[in-house]
């Protein structure tokens, strides 16, 4: 069956939107999600991206999305865990409430979706989970500690899930992009105390980070990899996107932690 029924969280912009549009062009049936969407079954159209309302911190909202797709199509073949938010600021200045919020959205929301979809995949005897991670899931960046923590968590759960599903017909894949040019850069929430002795360092590092992201790869590159994964009979586990990402990963493996972190700090002007 070449046509797949695909659920993509966070499909209204950035990576999610690029993936939704491209995978639709490849002949798949696409359901995306957005917090503020309005959808009824009568609006379903297999020739367009169908956007459903989803609040990742609301289990009922998640179940409603899954049930709607099953009622319309009878199955879900692929789930792409993409939705997420950004946060920037020194560890000491970031409110714990905000740290918990980003963990709920970026990590626990995706895990909840996995828990809800796996019983359906087992009944179908088929299913593919694609988790969108980041290089920040391999090493943190200055003033990005809490965002990186969510990606570290995604990596850990994905590795555990890969081993747990090893002897089944279900699969989990992790995509690890480097810098991407999306509106994620402008939507990142920032926290810094006006009295913070790190204010100047934060502003300098954030400026470099934003410049790196704006000059990063197009999000369509993620869509290309996902289509290749969907078509493949055998899947790898971790797919790294971008030459720069590979370069930094190699450095990370060759250098001691102290030297590598010094290298990163220097890059961000620290």
**C-alpha closest to that of 90 among 214, 195, 238:** 195
d(CA 59, CA 75): 20
d(CA 20, CA 182): 15
**C-alpha closest to that of 1 among 171, 253, 231, 193:** 231
Cα distances (angstroms) measured from residue 221 to each of 19, 69, 176, 246? 9, 27, 12, 15
Where do the DSSP E strands lie in 27-133? Answer: 29-34, 50-53, 78-81, 87-88, 127-132
Active site residues: 12, 133, 147, 151
In the numeric block, the tokens 């409110």 are attached to 95
d(CA 7, CA 197): 44
């Amino acid at each position: 069956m070449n046509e797949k029924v695909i659920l993509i969280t966070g499909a209204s912009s950035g990576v999610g939107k690029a993936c939704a549009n491209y995978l639709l062009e490849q002949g798949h049936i696409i359901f995306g999600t957005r917090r503020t969407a309005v959808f009824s079954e009568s609006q379903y159209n297999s020739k367009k991206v169908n956007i459903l309302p989803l609040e990742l911190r609301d289990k009922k909202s998640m179940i409603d999305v899954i049930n709607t797709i099953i009622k319309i199509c009878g199955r879900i073949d692929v789930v792409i865990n993409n939705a997420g938010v950004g946060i920037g600021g020194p560890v000491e200045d970031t409110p714990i409430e905000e740290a918990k919020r980003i963990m709920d959205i970026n990590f626990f929301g995706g895990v909840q979706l996995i828990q809800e979809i796996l019983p359906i995949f087992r009944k179908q005897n088929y299913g593919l989970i694609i988790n969108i991670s980041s290089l920040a899931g391999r090493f943190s960046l200055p003033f990005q500690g809490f965002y990186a923590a969510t990606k570290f968590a995604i990596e850990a759960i994905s590795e555990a899930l890969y081993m747990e599903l090893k002897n089944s017909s279900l699969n989990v894949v992790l995509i690890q992009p480097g810098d991407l040019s999306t509106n994620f850069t402008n939507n990142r929430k920032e926290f810094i105390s006006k009295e913070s002795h790190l204010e100047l360092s934060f502003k300098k590092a954030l400026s470099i980070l934003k410049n790196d992201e704006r000059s990063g790869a197009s999000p369509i590159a993620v869509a290309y990899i996902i289509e290749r994964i969907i078509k493949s009979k055998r899947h790898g586990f971790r797919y790294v996107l971008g030459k720069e990402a590979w370069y930094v990963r190699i450095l990370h493996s060759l250098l001691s932690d102290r030297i590598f972190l010094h290298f990163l700090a220097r890059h961000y002007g620290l």
